[in-house]
Amino acid sequence: MQVSVCLRAVIWLALVGTLTTACDVSVKDGNVSIDLVTGKAVDDSTRTYTIAPNGMIEIENRNGSIEVTSSEAPQLEVVISRQAEARSDEAAQALLKQIEILEEREPARVRLTTKAPSDGSIRVNYTVRAPRSLSTVLKTENGRVVVDGMAGSVRATGSNGPIDGKGLTGAVQASTINGPVRVELALVGGEISLATINGPVRLVIPTTAKAELSARSLNGRIATSGLTFENLDQ
């Protein structure tokens, strides 16, 4: 059995019209141009690394998701999907070639960084299978971050998109600006810090856990279920 804590902040929801054809809007020198996007280019690749059991995987992304799942295999596997959209397939291919994945490798550390033009419709998705004991440092500006089953420490940062953790047993630090933060712990193995500005925060912990809990909300309610509290302020 597990218990949960739910913090709900301000949520903004906007519904706009749906277009059957995507478009690219650009602003330059005060002029606005709208181009129909009909071309697409995709490139998938897999990288495999030998890394120390107590090592760390770091990923810094701009547009796209990062998903990390624990694995019993001793090696680290990263599937990278680069995607580009433009006015034509040829233009999309040209844009795709400008997306670089910078790599830093050490015996106990692997760091991957997305380098891409600031303009254009570009997306890079990372799908990672990692040894369970690794620590993770993950950052994306526009996209989802998911961490499943990891025992090492987790630090996840986003700007626009949700952060989800499941079956975690180490320390967790997760924050985003626009989106929910949802974390389920298999056990409380370290300090847990969860934050968002626009969106709900949900923490699920085992009923046997003994921990000090501090919750704060600027705009919204704080709800708990199945928890027994001891007031430490008295």
pTM given for the model: 0.82
CB atoms within 10 A of CB 132: 17
User: With 60 as the cut, is the pLDDT of residue 168 above it?
Assistant: yes
In terms of Cα–Cα distance, which of 55, 56, 80 is closest to 67? Answer: 80
Whole-angstrom Cα distance, residue 185 to residue 204?
Answer: 6
**115-132 residue pLDDT tens:** 998 888 999 999 999 999
% helix / strand / coil in the chain, to the nearest 5?
5, 60, 40
Contacts 24+ apart (CB under 8 A), 153-158: 153/190
For the chain, where are the E strands, in sequence order? Answer: 2-8, 22-28, 31-37, 39-50, 56-60, 66-71, 75-86, 100-106, 109-115, 121-131, 135-142, 145-148, 154-160, 163-168, 172-178, 181-185, 192-198, 200-206, 222-225
pLDDT digits (tens, 9 = 90+) for 175-223: 999 999 999 999 998 999 999 999 999 999 988 888 787 888 777 777 8
Q: What is the pLDDT of residues 9-60, one digit of tens each?
A: 332 323 233 333 455 545 455 555 555 668 999 999 999 999 999 999 999 9
DSSP 106: E
Residues 127 and 104: their CA atoms lie apart, in Å, by 18
**pLDDT: which is higher, 7 or 149:** 149
Is the pLDDT at 111 greater than 90? The verdict is yes
Give the pLDDT mean for 154-158.
98
